[in-house]
Amino acid sequence: MTIETEVDFARALERLRRRDTESLAAFILSLAQDSGPVGEQVRTFIVGDVVAEAAEALRVRITGLAIPDEYVLRHARGKEIGVSLGFILDAIDTLVLPIDPREAFDLLVLFFKADGQAMENCRDHDFEVTCAFERAAELIERAATSVPRADVVAARWLSTRPRSFPKSEPGCTGENQGKNGVNPIIKAFSSSA
């Protein structure tokens, strides 16, 4: 089965809806055993009904973007960095931001603090990482609308940091906010500060 079109997606969703909850829960739990980004995302989803637990899981994931020393492991992990960042943003967007925008804002500030580590370790996969940070800029802009102005201003240090990631390339999910060497975070904070 392939899921490439909206019809494929609707068909797959309908098939899953016919499954019993026990078999779906068992399957989801089996995915949680994966040691890569999929397992991390599933484990975050499992605790997602409690925002504090989801936020803590996300903090651990963001601060755990370290790369192993061995070349083969570093190269494989470099590819996972972009995937991991996307999954982390999915969880912030769907589990935390709708319930606790302040917590989402704090997680996104932590996310941006990890930009140097992410770019240093993504190896040849900088496009995916750049796209993730553009999306994070959009999310932090949304979260900032629900955070006291003083807190947003205090976090503006992000907009003055040198860019660690390359100029945007066409194809990112968000607006190409990084073109012409402009830090994509500036836009997020300039509308709130």
Summarised one tens digit per residue, pLDDT across range 48-106 is 999 999 999 999 988 877 655 555 455 566 677 888 899 999 999 999 999 999 999 99
Instruction: Give the length of the chain.
Output: 193
Supply the range of the domain harboring residue 71. 21-190
d(C-alpha 171, C-alpha 122), whole Å? 18
Q: Residues 6 or more apart from 171 whose CB is under 8 A from it?
A: 127, 131
**pTM, to two decimals:** 0.65
**pLDDT value, residue 71:** 53
Where is average pLDDT lowest: 5-14, 70-79, 160-169? 160-169
Where is average pLDDT lowest: 14-23, 48-57, 116-125? 116-125
**pLDDT value, residue 104:** 95
Specify if 179 maps to a domain: yes
Asked whether residue 30 carries a pLDDT value surpassing 60, the answer given is yes
- The crossing angle, in degrees rounded to 10, of helices 101-113 and 126-144 is 150
**Model confidence band, residue 41 (pLDDT cutoffs 50, 70, 90):** very high
Specify if 134 maps to a domain: yes
The helix or strand, by DSSP H or E, that contains position 83, with its residue range, turns out to be helix 71-91
Specify if 6 maps to a domain: no
**pLDDT value, residue 165:** 46
d(C-alpha 109, C-alpha 95), whole Å? 17
Specify if 7 maps to a domain: no
In this prediction, residues 153-167 reach a mean pLDDT of 56
Specify if 129 maps to a domain: yes
d(C-alpha 149, C-alpha 38), whole Å? 35
Specify if 11 maps to a domain: no
Domain count, the chain: 1
Tell the burial category of 151 from Cβ atoms under 10 Å away from its Cβ (0-12, 13-18, 19+).
middle
